[in-house]
Structure 1
């Protein structure tokens, strides 16, 4: 997959099976994709004010503000953990209708936000996932 995201006069390469995070205020964003190739895109938008309503504690809001300021005005790759990937597939494959769908998707989006914040705080690294055996484990 070859895709580019144009935002505020910057062109960002979007890699296959990648996640990206950005915080943009009043900016036009364009996604350019290669023709003839099937693409799946999931875009979630939430204002900081909406996000803060779910985190009423001032300490939580401080962490969120730090994360938003860190990502302000730029599009950066974001590692996709297996848990995040599963949640994205559940959002994309939701078959509910009406109010049930709205409630389900709101819950899944908050799940994604909380996973992202936790991974951002704890420093998730996809290379550290898996079983690592040392000599004592093998014996």
Structure 2
């Protein structure tokens, strides 16, 4: 399914993709959303191209509102300015936000709401506000002191840092070592990395580890213990916890489902 969506008015949206895949392109930028992934967008007067693959069920939770609705909750001028700074951080972008157990729980409760009529509306509105608050907590609201001005060489250094993080994700470089290698101070590295790529260095390491974990289990056929060690986890329990947070199920459950699907596909081919 291919859509061209014209966002004519200011729109602030939080979404959580429960199943399926979504590709978006706007103003020369692009994003690819997979299952168990959340995005925040703040767009105005822009056309978004959206594409979803055929034959794959899509289930997506979206909370949409005008940015002015968020400012309504600011108690004073200082708080309003802080909130405006937070909004500017995401203006013109579709950014991935950190996935947390609390956010997943809130999403599940909204999806499986059994109330009807007035009670349902009250429940969903309260949960929407809870979702926004949880997003703000995970996104670092309250700790932003404004966006950082990045020079051309800063961006070049940060992109190099991004490459190094992906190369060394199994045995991550320390912030200090990474800072030395790319020639940028630790503060600018951490804050600039988040502003440029929409995630922290730790989050990128976790994403790359989880992606490689699937490869080890599916392609190499490694068991859970060997997979954990191969992607840099000395403790299988820590690996299982991170895997469950990232994919919404334990590695053993994933492997069981994958093998069942693979076996069924082979039988169909035969």
Q: TM-score, normalised by structure 1?
A: 0.78
Q: Supply the distance in 2 between the matched residues of 1:97 and 1:60 (Cα, whole angstroms).
A: 36
Taking a change above 3 Å as real, the CA distance of residues 30 and 109 of structure 1, as seen in their structure-2 partners, is farther
Of 45, 50, 55 in structure 2, the residue corresponding to residue 26 of structure 1 is: 45
Q: Supply the distance in 2 between the matched residues of 1:79 and 1:97 (Cα, whole angstroms).
A: 31
Of 17, 22, 25 in structure 2, the residue corresponding to residue 6 of structure 1 is: 25
Name the structure 2 match of 1:50: 69
Name the structure 1 match of 2:100: 81
**Structure 1 stretches of 5 or more lacking a match?**
133-139
Name the structure 2 match of 1:100: 119
- Deviation, 1:90, is 1.0
Aligned length: 129
Does residue 90 (structure 1) correspond to residue 109 (structure 2)? The answer is yes
- Deviation, 1:88, is 0.8
Q: TM-score, normalised by structure 2?
A: 0.43
Considering only aligned residues, what root-mean-square deviation do their CA atoms show, in Å? 2.5
| Greater fraction of residues in helix | 2
Q: Supply the distance in 2 between the matched residues of 1:105 and 1:7 (Cα, whole angstroms).
A: 30
Quick check: which has more Rg, 1 or 2? Answer: 2
Name the structure 1 match of 2:139: 120
- Deviation, 1:32, is 1.3
Taking a change above 3 Å as real, the CA distance of residues 118 and 76 of structure 1, as seen in their structure-2 partners, is same
CA deviation map 1:43-79 (0-9, x unaligned): 1111111112223333332222112101000111112
Does residue 68 (structure 1) correspond to residue 83 (structure 2)? The answer is no
Of 59, 81, 100 in structure 1, the residue corresponding to residue 78 of structure 2 is: 59
- Deviation, 1:30, is 4.1
User: Looking at both structures, which has the greater relative contact order when contacts are Cα pairs under 8 Å and sequence separation is at least 6?
Assistant: 1
Q: Supply the distance in 1 between the matched residues of 2:102 and 2:139 (Cα, whole angstroms).
A: 14
Taking a change above 3 Å as real, the CA distance of residues 27 and 102 of structure 1, as seen in their structure-2 partners, is farther
- Deviation, 1:9, is 4.5
